[in-house]
Amino acid sequence: MCAKGRKLAVTYIDTPERRALDLAEAGLHEVPVLGFSRYRHAVTPVGTHRHAGCLEIGLCQRGALTLLNNGQEHRIMPGDLYLNKPSDIHCISASPKGTIVYWLLIREPQRGQPFLRLKSREAQDIWSRLNRLPCHVIAKTDAVKQAFAHLFKYHEQPASPYRTVGLNTACVSLLMGVIDASSHKATITHSRLIDHVVESLREKPERKVSLDDLAREAGMSPSLFISRFKQLTGLPPYHFQLACRLEKAKRLLAETDMPITQLALDLGFCASQHFSGHFKRAFGLTPSAWRKRAAARRGGGFRS
């Protein structure tokens, strides 16, 4: 792993809040790190970096992450997958309190060397498919979650050939689950009917609309609309609109000198305190702190 050309040492740790385990020592050379993070408080993000020779796979289980990948920001919600390829410059820029994440690094297959007990052609096919996936995958990820759980389960067992086989099998299942989850994304029905609703919420998240209004726009019953909307975006309509409001708030805080109370009201929040609470839970900073950080990066400042 390296950050802007510098190597980052892996700190292996095993606490209730953070686990970073070396599966190479457990017989799975292909996985130098298996991780679990439970953020019981907001943490200082690691700077931008990349994992040379390794691909990172993460699964958000609770809360939300803000991932910056090659200059693009992605909002990773519960059940979402994220992938950072070996050449991707990335960082988790926000990890709010309460967020739970599974993650691992897997080494790139090397010609002539074993990779998860697969034949060379099989290993290269899986690696190629993984590297064609998008950075952010919204899909049904139960199989990936189960595979992560099995990796931790087998790691806890005493060293034995059975343990090694279990780790290997769970890792192959995880990679296959990630690939399959991404392909299943394309099977979501009614996506075109919902697309214009999603775009309108992104463009004007402050508008006051009811669930019935949105379902009517999509030409669906409310129950079907909720189901299909969540499949497509990973969130129920209300939470998606809230996320869009908070994203717009970030832009306004960084680009304008609008007072925070006025900004909150304009975005549809009932009070600035209500807005500030949601903003801090989402991004780990208060609106004022976010604005100050944006101003410092820009070399100027706006009033709070």
Give the closest residue to 4 by CA, choosing from 89, 94, 96, 109. 89
CA distances from 213 to 51, 69, 136, 210, 237 (A): 46, 35, 29, 5, 11
* Residues 205, 155 share a domain: no
Residues 229/240, Cβ–Cβ less than 8 Å:
yes
Q: How many distinct structural domains can be found in the chain?
A: 2
Q: Is the dihedral of CA 213, 219, 221, 226 positive or negative?
A: negative
* Residues 198, 52 share a domain: no
pLDDT tier, 1 (very low <50, low <70, confident <90, very high otherwise): very low
Q: How far apart are CA 53 and CA 87, in angstroms?
A: 8
* Residues 268, 126 share a domain: no
pLDDT of residue 5: 37
Q: Is the pLDDT of residue 7 over 60?
A: no
* Residues 197, 137 share a domain: no
Does residue 303 lie within any of the structural domains? no
* Residues 109, 13 share a domain: yes
Domain extent for 39: 2-186
- Per-residue pLDDT of 145-166, as tens digits, reads 999 999 999 999 999 999 999 9
Does residue 59 lie within any of the structural domains? yes
* Residues 72, 20 share a domain: yes
pLDDT tier, 191 (very low <50, low <70, confident <90, very high otherwise): low
Angle between helices 237-255 and 272-283 (to 10 degrees): 90
* Residues 127, 268 share a domain: no
63-67, 133-137, 147-151, 232-236, range with greatest mean pLDDT: 147-151
Does residue 304 lie within any of the structural domains? no
Average pLDDT of the residues in 160-180: 97
